[in-house]
Amino acid sequence: MSALAGLRVIDCATLFAGPTASLLLGDFGAEVIKIEHPESGDPVRNHGYKKNDQSLWWTYISRNKKTLALNLGNSKGAEVFRKLIENTDVLIENFRPGTLEKWGLAPEELHKVNPRLIIARVTGFGQAGPYSRRPGFGTLAEAMSGFANLTGTPDGPPTLPAFGLADAIAGITTAQAVMTALFALNNSNSEAFGKGQVIDTSLLEPIMSTLGPQSLIFDQLGIKQKRTGNRTENNAPRNTYKAKDGKWLAISTSAPSIAARVMTLVGHPEVINEPWFQEARSRVAHADQLDTYINQWISQRDSVEVIAAFTEAEAAVAPIYDIEDLLIDPQIQARETITRVNDPLLGEVAMQNVIYQMSKTPGQINFTGRPKGADTREILEKFASLSPDEIIELHKAGVVFDANA
């Protein structure tokens, strides 16, 4: 049986952070009900690349989720939602603060219906503060967090990631917060024993937490970290290097022993005995010298030869992959990090597998993102106790969309 079998999750969130959280829960057996608007559907259905008029983002991020097309802003839709909440363990939403309250679905109202409900609220800047009602997107969090300011070359502009980094981090964080709240719910030593609670997650705070002790360093030393390109202020050598065959490689020497092995391998063991070589930060001051030695050695060899030599010397190196390289890598294949799943519209498709492996209760991808309203009838009959005639009336009124009507 799956780790989260019996856990019921309603996902009312759009785009990426909240849906990433529910994806992770669904991968490990939670029954996830994805709620989207009956007319427009979820925005991800029209996001990014498509094939056969289906968004490939939707195919991925809505896997293992049943779909219910329900208008929460309609009074009848809100009434149906309350019935669903009676039989729900976790609600994930990312409406702008005040939206649920406007619909009569504030957390305190939902807790009257289901006192054990865990409500995860994911927004750009959180439920409180002067920015709480601003539109919030991952790009803004990546900018404000300090991430973009640290990314790029010293003489170049701040650089944003080419993918939804802040959303992904916030989604993983939200899933972890949900599991913490569920543990507290069942922990007799917790103040929340037997009670639901509200989780307030922003896009900004989780990505800030990944940037290390910057606030501490500035507070205590007045130092602001600067852009260093592919180098780092913390150790050297650490950079990207181009091999003879045009392939790029990354090297990291966080441990002094690794730095010594690298310099021995590239033919300059004499630097190991220099006083400045013994500490990581003092090596940073000599990064140009170290990089010159490494570049000279790597540029004369193909990437395969470089990787083989580094591996034999137990020095740290990795190729810089694009997605095609990743798909054929033997480590990725051995662990099935990219797996193939059948999609009714697209056939067999490749996507990232579940995010971690468990020995007793492994995760599983049961199906890909489903058509809008594909499960409306099943969900409303089973969890809201509505009759087929009632569902038909709601469908006709535009409160729900039933793909099987």
Rounded distance between C-alpha atoms, residue 40 and residue 14, angstroms: 12
Distance of CA 355 to the CA centre of its chain: 10
Rounded distance between C-alpha atoms, residue 9 and residue 97, angstroms: 21
Rounded distance between C-alpha atoms, residue 324 and residue 97, angstroms: 41
The DSSP code for 33 is E
CA dihedral 296, 298, 301, 302 (to 10 degrees): -150
Active-site residue flag, 325: no
Closest among 111, 318, 305, 130 to 194, alpha carbons compared: 111
Looking at the DSSP assignment, which residues form a beta bridge with residue 348? Answer: 342
Using an 8 Å Cβ cutoff, are 373 and 68 in contact? Answer: yes
68 three-state secondary structure: strand
Q: What is the CA radius of gyration of the chain?
A: 25
- Check 11, 89, 167, 402 and give the catalytic one: 167
Strand pairing report for 54-55 and 347-352: unpaired
- Residues classed as catalytic: 167
